Amino acid sequence: MLAALMDGRALTATELSFVAGIGASTASAHLAKLEAANILTVVKQGRHRYFRLASPLVSRMLEGIMTFAAIGAPQRYQPRTTRDAAMRLARTCYDHLAGRLGVALAEALVARGHAILGDDAGELTASGARALSEIGIPLVALSDNHKRIFCRPCLDWSERRPHLAGSVGAAIAGHCFERHWIEHIRDSRAVRVTVAGNAAFHRHFDIDLGALAADLKLGPAKTASA
């Protein structure tokens, strides 16, 4: 249930019980404990109650747990599915992009001197601010959000390399959704890259989605569909 909320959405108890494959009463009991522990918060709208992660810090904690589990747990054979492949290629991590696409974006910014990423902190350079502004993400809009860390690395659990988080990462993801470069895949944190997005990522960041998905058994229609 927590993983389903890691894309920043708010879902009802019924929706979360369906995602987890458990009964409504069991889901409600778990959700009540998570709310009491300040891991989840509730938004009321009419007769409905929507659950969401209490803050981006919860998502960061969950991503860290997933990364630790992927590195420290004994490796077991598990058949890969199309859903798994889509998650590994591109997904949301709360409000920023993760998976191979998220990592490729971070590495492209670092390689061009647009960003500096350390183990626990990051910095957007002057050239990075100009580059983002040129594609429609003004630095002023980013710096206005004083409640968020401006720029930081987030270790990707599937790639084990950092993707870009903080308000800069969120702004890039938001821009990609607004321009319809990516779109949500129903009932999943995975995102689909559109034809326009495929061209845009190549043009602005020199990212080849076909190469990123080469060993994931996702055909061109699924990696760059309209």
Higher pLDDT, 114 or 72: 114
Tell me what percent of the residues of the chain surpass a pLDDT of 90: 39
Q: What phi and psi values does residue 91 have, to the nearest 5 degrees?
A: -150, 170
Q: Following CA atoms 103, 158, 153, 54 in sequence, which dihedral angle do they give, to the nearest 10 degrees?
A: 120
- One-letter identity of residue 136: G
Q: Is there a single domain that holds both residue 102 and residue 166?
A: yes
- Residues 102 and 10 grouped into a single domain: no
What is the rounded CA–CA span in Å between residue 86 and residue 83?
5
Residues 115 and 216 in one domain: yes
41 and 95 both lie in a single domain: no
Decide if pLDDT at 79 tops 60.
Answer: no
Q: What is the pLDDT of residues 117-135, one digit of tens each?
A: 887 788 889 899 899 999 9
- Tell me what pLDDT residue 70 has: 64
Type of residue at 37: A
For residues 158 and 86, membership in a common domain is answered with yes
Domain-located, residue 68? no
More confident residue, 87 or 141: 87
Residue 165 domain-assigned (yes or no): yes
Ranges of beta strands (E only) in 113-216 are: 115-117, 122-124, 152-155, 162-165, 182-184, 191-193
Give me the phi and psi of 78, to 5 degrees please: -135, 125
84 plus 31 within the same structural domain: no
- CATH code of the domain covering residue 39: 1.10.10.10
In a domain, 204, yes or no: yes
Instruction: Report pLDDT for 205.
Output: 95
8 A C-beta contact, residue 188 and residue 87: yes
Spatial contact of 84 and 76, defined as CB atoms under 8 Å apart: no
Our count of domains for the chain comes to 2
- Residues 32, 87: one domain? no
Q: For residue range 8-55, what is the model confidence (pLDDT) as tens digits?
A: 778 899 989 988 889 989 999 999 999 999 999 998 888 888 998 888
Same domain, 41 and 126: no
Q: In which domain, by residue range, is 25 found?
A: 3-54
Same domain assignment for residues 100 and 197:
yes
Strands (DSSP E) found in the chain: 11-12, 40-45, 48-53, 91-93, 96-98, 115-117, 122-124, 152-155, 162-165, 182-184, 191-193
Q: Determine, yes or no, domain membership for 65.
A: no
**Its pTM surpasses 0.75:** no
Question: Is residue 64 assigned to a domain?
Answer: no
Average pLDDT of the chain, as a whole number: 83
Per-residue confidence at 81, pLDDT binned at 50, 70, 90?
low
Give the mean pLDDT of 100-118. 93
159 within domain boundaries: yes
44-48, 142-146, 162-166: which is most confident: 162-166
Instruction: Let me know whether 14 and 117 are in one domain.
Output: no
> Do 145 and 214 sit in the same domain of this protein?
yes
Name the pLDDT band for 143 (thresholds 50, 70, 90). low
Does 194 reside within a domain?
A: yes
pLDDT value, residue 75:
54
Q: pLDDT tens for residues 182-193? A: 999 887 888 999
